[in-house]
Structure 1
Amino acid sequence: MDLHEGSSAPGSGYRLIRPAMGTRNVLVPARSRQAALAGISLITRSKAVALLAQWGLYYAVAMLGPRFLPGERVTWEPPGGAARWSALAGRLGKFDALALYERPQASRTGLAAVLLHRGRPVGFLKLREEPGELDREHRAMVALAGARPETFRLPRVLGRGEAEGWHWMVMEPMPPRPAAPARRIVLPRLVADIQRCLEPLLPRPHDAPAHWRPMHGDLTPWNLRRCGPGLPWLIDWEDAAWAPPGADQVYYAVTSAAALGRRSVSPPEPGHVEAARFWLERLAARSGDDHDAPLTARLVAELRARISPALSR
């Protein structure tokens, strides 16, 4: 259904498919093969078997078309109603389809979507009711774009604004193909690059200890993705902040261990004990009823295991 005259942006009654894969929080458009492939690429899989299954689904749709995509057929209703969505859509540029990423955590509102025009991705939309997350991410991404990181790439910001009470940001979309966690990375070099780029431009809180450094804040295998040749993409900068120097390195290590079984064989560095305690405090504030509560419990166990050897020395 068109939202307003002169626009072909999808609105109330838009038909999508919820593929029977992973957490089922991705909704794929079925009007064209190319658009469906872009939607399938939104599914975030990290383990090798799950990635193979995603690629199998991708190639099946590429050959047979979206009508063969297994999953629930659903009707999407715009957030906040058709009129509110219409006013927002008019600010986002020209698009005629979208693939939706619903946040699986009940405690985190908002949505994300790949905006498509004639089947091709033209932007990645983040939509929030409160501006805080997008303000932090926008500030970090603008700073990083000027700093020219050497170990990763990130999307360009295409637009940022507010309409009808919604806060939004549109970024450059990643290539429309399944992405895998980046392997064989030199993690200390990557973390140093993040700190180098953010330090001159990320506002430092007045109460931050003098030795703290900037961090990405959500450095995980599912946010550091390789999608074709070149540097890996590092996405989701909304938690960029100041923290103990080892915060990003520790969080990447424990999320890799909890989600993928990749455990470090080297003992933790002295500064990483402070970072582990930092993350334990952060994780304690997360809801125990969210979709990712089991992952949070595994992260806590990994962090405590990292602290224990240091306490016994």
Structure 2
Amino acid sequence: MATSLRSGFLGTSLQDSRKVETATAARGQKLQVQALFKGLKKAAGKGEKEAGKAAGKASKFGKKVQQKAPAKPKFQAPKLGAKKGTQTVKKAASKASKGGTKSTGGWLGGAGGAQGLEKWYGPDRALFLPTGLLDPADVPSYLNGQLAGDYGYDPLKLGKDGAQVEKYREYELIHARWAMLAAAGIIIPEGLQANGAAIRGGTWFETGAEMLDGGTLNYFAVPWGVINNPLPLVVVTVIEAGLLFAVENYRQKGQGPPGYSPGVGKFDSDIFNSLDNLYPGGPFDPLGLADDPEVFDELRVKEIKNGRLAMVAVLAFSVQSFVTGEGPYANWAKHVADPFGYNLLTIVGNEERLPTL
């Protein structure tokens, strides 16, 4: 019995010791796992701190680089007034060929500006006939859309010589500007006289006759007063011819006297040395309407288009006055009053109105 008790006690002790060993091993594994997780968390924390420090250093370095880096120069449009010649035209054509439709600032700081210059410059510009009636390949190669108002029309092949084209453009532009002034000078005085202004010789072809008959011209006829001009025709002619000669002489030589211009201030005579003959700018653009190069490119198109229309209009005024014996304002007023009774067909068909040689 003692032997059985000893064996039972030993068996129980052996089982208890095995349970203790098993529990101890499990607890050791648990502690190892916990230590492993703590190590991972600690390593992750250190990694985050290192990453934060690296990011801070990078941001500080970036700020230093930005401070040290030179600022990009702002784009400044070339001022109108420098001698550009055909360079401005080529720049406009290159902009148009890229298809840019950038809208720039308008006049006097307003919105708007030039948009869609490719319609007027470059290979995709508008031509004198629609695409269905004219193949762009039929347009002469020397008409490449660099000039303002180039619609690809040159049936007489006058534009083959580039130097000659520049002369033709100068002649055309000068005549266009004179025609625009002439058209306004023909219509406005006649219209003022027809509406009650005290003007003698308001019709353009009667002005000289009024002075030859001993009369005087009333310049600056406005609703608040009339300024008489008692000078005879010969004196007026000499004064006008002298002024025109001086202006054209200055323009061709690129010279001029010193003076003052609003927006520019006082200027010396040497300011004209750097101005373009056709588009001088400078003192001749006191409002800065063409400071923006894209707006300037658009203005050149508008000028030549209106100038061509004015040249045709002045020619029509001359023929019309010869046929009807009246000025354009009187013809227009009669046509508006009776459109079907007073028009081109009724005038040409009336034998009494036809001029006799």
TM-score of the superposition, structure 1-length normalised? 0.23
Higher strand proportion, which one? 1
Higher RCO (Cα < 8 Å, 6 or more apart):
2
TM-score of the superposition, structure 2-length normalised? 0.21
